[in-house]
Copies of this chain bind each other. A is one copy, B any other.
């Protein structure tokens, strides 16, 4: 396993095993892999499994969101303070199926005081956009 393809449950590429990510068992259980972890920026991918489809046979929207949410959480925890998701909006643009690889790239759009906005784009293995998410963060112990 390459250094840039650590499971979300085990570690990250850019820092020495941040405790937050080491313990993200949900992301690990969903097979997410962290490719990039920088302040304000993160890339996480996941291969859609057969047990991830909804009643229409396509990837469950909740799991597309979960992938984006993990990338968001990594990107918005930029420093020693705890930053939580206040909310997020997702637009679904295309459906995917088992076997496809989804990659979520989160980038800080703006941070002002304790509030932050992050854009998370989810693409498939061809680079086509599957979903766009805008996350709203709130930093707990700082300004």
Contacts and interface: CB of A to CB of B under 8 A. Distances in A.
A62 interface: yes
Interface string A37-74: 00000000000001111111101111101111110010
A54 B132 CA distance: 21
Nearest to A64: B62
A33 to B, nearest CB: 15
Contacts of A134: 89, 134
Contact of A55 (B24, B57, B91): B24
Interface residues of A, number: 54
Copies in the complex: 4
Given A27-B54, A54-B73, A91-B136, A63 B60 contact: no
A138 to B, nearest CB: 9
Contacts of A26: 51-54, 59-60, 62-63
30 contacts: A22-B55, A23-B55, A25-B50, A25-B51, A25-B53, A25-B54, A26-B59, A26-B60, A26-B62, A27-B54, A29-B52, A54-B73, A60-B66, A61-B66, A61-B88, A62-B63, A62-B70, A66-B66, A86-B92, A86-B136, A87-B90, A87-B91, A88-B89, A89-B90, A93-B112, A93-B115, A93-B117, A94-B112, A110-B121, A112-B129
